[in-house]
Amino acid sequence: KKAEPKAAWRTSPAMPLSDDDFQRRVEVLMKWLRKNGAKFPKVEMSRYADEGRDLRSTQPIKANEEIIYVPRKCIIEVQQGKECKIGRAVRNEAKGWVSGHTYLAIRMLTERDLGSKSFFAPWFSVLPTDYRAQGMPQYWSEEMKKEIAHTKTLAKANAVKASIEEMWGRISKVKAVRKSKWTIEDFAWARYTVLTRTFGVDMNGKEATVMVPLADMANHEFDRPSRWKYDDKKRGFVVKVVRDLGVGANLTDTYGSKGNDSFLPFYGFCIENNEFNQGRFSLPRQNINGVKVSFLSKLAVSRCAYEAEEDKVKHIDATSDTDASGSKRGGKELFSFVRALCLNEEEYRRVARLSLKNKTEHPVSVLNEIRALNQIKSAANRAIAKFETSIEEDEAILSDLTKAPKFSWYRNAVLARVGEKRTLQFYVNLADTMVRLLEQPSMKAVQSTKAYSLLRSADRCTEWGYYANKYFDKVVAPLVKKSEK
């Protein structure tokens, strides 16, 4: 029998959404948008589950056609949260930094308290009312959370929950907030509503975080057909498509180049084959050869790649793409740090003279790269050893739809943990293959090895075939050729 989630937070929405009147509420929302100047002649909103909504085309759409326009008056902005009565009180009285998402949540709750008198009432009436139904691990029971033990997914879910609780602790002491009678459950509902449906735009030359009705109902797809922006001239949010679409097309957006460790705690779902899944590598903070590397602690790790420190251990997260960084969440920061970690005295003197800000972004030497690969392999193996199930066992579970039904919390748990394991295993395999090739005296010797033949014959449409060959071409081949001279 499948365990039922026992929520630490229980939402208490003021405007519950029933199955019977969903369509009526959608019609009221569409009427409200049109009345206030919004345009979406070929778009409809549909419901596919208790708390699931999406956007569909009602007519054929041509590439570059504008499909949605929402005027600024219908948009909720951070500044509105700061300028409303409770927002002003928070700005004046709260101790410490208060996030933009919190001000958006304040604005949401202020409007929600007005009920049907709120200008935004038609929009609020179709928003999710219970985030337990969204499948986020923050609402899982402790027994359910065991399925994602030792994952960065669980760590991130706990961090999101803790962040919301911390921010609530900061603003709940403000007199106006206490007077509002809001609870942590109310605030959590508002924060999750904000978390799952904000857009980062450029508005009049300034970065802004906004919430946009209708456009916020688009589901995720990496290969989305839509593009959006805030149009200063039109004074509104516009959505266009980049390719021709037929009737009934799902008008998706992308929620970013994220792994399942982000999708699950932020949105409550996982992608079946997600190339942006990351593994977490726990590494020493000091050079393994005792070399005092002056720039080691200064090496930047992108916020997207994530970085944390615990005592003598540094955690770096990376996807299988060893050449990508930043928003692509790749392994460039991982290799840059580990190369510095493995420098010997001679290598350090050489790279220290470089004018580059990141002195180990590029390969240093054959021997340094071998040491770096072995260090990464060891970290990956340590992480894999913590899991109670193997990749093969997880894949067997996923292949049985009766055991792990599509979109179930259990399937999402397995997808999250196996995604991390696959990425860690990628680096183990990468080290095993590339160390063999780096140990060869020449490119001719490299090309005669079985490891090289297997690498070059790998399907380039797979993560291994594409990213491993990319690493060979950009790192291994140049190092071996240089060592020949």
Q: What contacts 79, CB < 8 A, 6 or more positions away?
A: 103, 208
pTM of the model: 0.89
Cα 428 from chain centroid (whole Å): 24
What does the alpha-carbon distance between residue 273 and residue 10 come to, in Å, rounded to a whole number? Answer: 32
CA distance 62 to 64: 6
Exposure of 394 in the CB half-sphere (CA atoms within 13 A)? 22
Contact 368, 345 (CB under 8 A): no
HEC profile for the chain? CCCCCCCCCCCCCCCCCCCCCHHHHHHHHHHHHHHCCCECCCEEEEEEECCEEEEEECCCECCCCEEEEEEHHHCEEHHHHHHCHHHHHHHHHCCCCCCHHHHHHHHHHHHHHCHHHCCCHHHHCCCCCCHHHHCCHHHCCHHHHHHHCCCHHHHHHHHHHHHHHHHHHHHCCCHHHHHHCCCHHHHHHHHHHHHCCEEEEEECCEEEEEECCCHHHCCECCCCCEEEEEECCCCEEEEEECCCECCCCECCECCCCCCHHHHHHHHCCCCCCCCCCCEEEEEECCCCCCCCCCCHHHCCCCCCCCEEEECCEEEEEECCCCCCCHHHCCCHHHHHHHHHHCCCHHHHHHHHCCCCCCCCCCCCCHHHHHHHHHHHHHHHHHHHHCCCCCHHHHHHHHHCCCCCCCCCHHHHHHHHHHHHHHHHHHHHHHHHHHHHHHCCCCHHHHHCCHHHHHHHHCCCCCHHHHHHHHHHHHHHHHHHHHHHC
Give the pLDDT of residue 300: 59
The pLDDT, as a whole number, for residue 299 is 75
* Residue listed under structure tokens 């300028």: 83
pLDDT computed for residue 404 by the predictor: 96
Pull the structure tokens for residue 114.
Answer: 């007005």
Q: ∠ at Cα 414 (410, 416), nearest 5°? A: 115
Reference 440, options 431, 452, 430; nearest CA is 452
The string over 246-269, giving b where at least 16 C-beta atoms fall within 10 Å of a residue's C-beta and e elsewhere, is eeebebbbebebbbbbbbbbbbbb
Those residues with Cβ within 8 angstroms of residue 435's Cβ, 6 or more apart along the chain or in another chain:
370, 373, 374
Residue 356 has what pLDDT? 77
Closest CA to 110 of 101, 122, 102, 118: 118
Give the residue carrying structure tokens 């911390």. 166
Residue environment code for 427-439, b if the CB has 16+ CB neighbours within 10 A, otherwise e = bbebbebbbbbbe
- Going along the chain from its start, the domains and CATH numbers come out as 22-267 (3.90.1410.10), 279-484 (3.90.1420.10)
| 381-421 pLDDT tens trace | 999 999 999 999 999 999 999 999 998 999 999 999 999 99
- Mean pLDDT by 10-residue block, N- to C-terminus, for the chain (485 residues)? 33 42 90 98 81 86 98 97 98 96 98 96 92 89 96 93 96 97 96 96 96 96 96 98 96 94 95 94 93 82 49 84 78 93 96 85 96 98 97 98 94 98 98 98 97 96 94 97 88
